[in-house]
Amino acid sequence: MSCGRESKRLRLPPLPEAVSRRQVAGRCKLKPSHRTRSDRRLRRLRRAELPVDAVELARYLIGKIVVHDTDSGRLSGRIVETEAYPVGDAAGHAFHGKTQRNRSLFLERGHAYVYLCYGTSFLLNVTSEVAGVGGGVLLRAIEPLEGIGEMIAGPCGTTRLADLGRGPGRMTRALRVDLSQDGSDLCAAGSLWLAATAQKIGGVGNSVRIGITRDVNRLLRFYERGNAHVSGVKKLRQ
């Protein structure tokens, strides 16, 4: 699975004690949309709702919510960009079989597969097949919903709202996801989970995947058209 071409992790200086989370959030350069308000109607996705196929799941997850309930509060965002890594895909981590590193990728659909990319960024994937078969969906970008102040004050490396969850490494930094969530059941009670919402999504586009060197021509990247939080060059966001 791709590590992408995301820029190196940026480090912000520590905030003065007198600076509040609300003040930090006020430094955003993009006015939050109505979708950034807390959605109390979230419903945990059931495993039976998830397609048993990486490509179908990658499209299905657009518009769904990823939630991380942390000690400091809830962090969540709408999934606006995904990439599929189906069974037999040469760019996927499951291509050469199960290893100690990728064993979570072989869990039944709806589990988290988290790995460290280039030693700097954790990437979050959702398993997509039946137990014992390796395949998954990389979550590439979110539109932040809850905990925006916490996201900005954390190690995300930006104060620009549109960039908080743009790209798989920034997304996991915003959501505070790391290797401790590897193997988590995203459809069961737990701190990291997937949710459905009644909100409708815009049109879904697809393109080649970003930052890979094998099976490069497959149209396995999906994204919400016109969403400012989608990553990639302009021609991959239209």
Q: Give residue 40's pLDDT.
A: 57
CA distance 156 to 11: 8
CA distance 109 to 98: 16
Q: Give residue 186's pLDDT.
A: 98
Q: Give residue 27's pLDDT.
A: 47
CA distance 47 to 111: 9
Q: How far is CA 34 from CA 39, 48, 116, 143, 172, in A?
A: 10, 30, 33, 11, 23
Q: What is the CA radius of gyration of the chain?
A: 17
Name 75's bridge partners. Answer: 68
| pTM of this structure | 0.85
DSSP E strand boundaries for 86-232: 112-117, 121-127, 136-146, 192-196, 204-207, 221-224
Q: Give residue 197's pLDDT.
A: 86
Q: Give residue 48's pLDDT.
A: 98
pLDDT single digits (tens) 126-160? 999 999 999 999 999 999 999 999 999 888 777 88
Name 77's bridge partners. Answer: 66, 144
CA distance 28 to 152: 8
Which pLDDT tens digits describe the chain residue by residue (238 residues)?
776 444 343 333 343 333 344 444 444 444 554 454 444 579 999 999 999 999 999 999 999 999 999 999 999 999 999 999 999 999 999 999 999 999 999 999 999 999 999 889 999 999 999 999 999 999 999 999 999 999 998 887 778 899 999 999 999 999 999 999 999 999 999 999 999 988 888 899 999 999 999 999 999 999 999 999 999 887 777 6
Q: How far is CA 232 from CA 69, 107, 116, 209, in A?
A: 28, 29, 20, 10
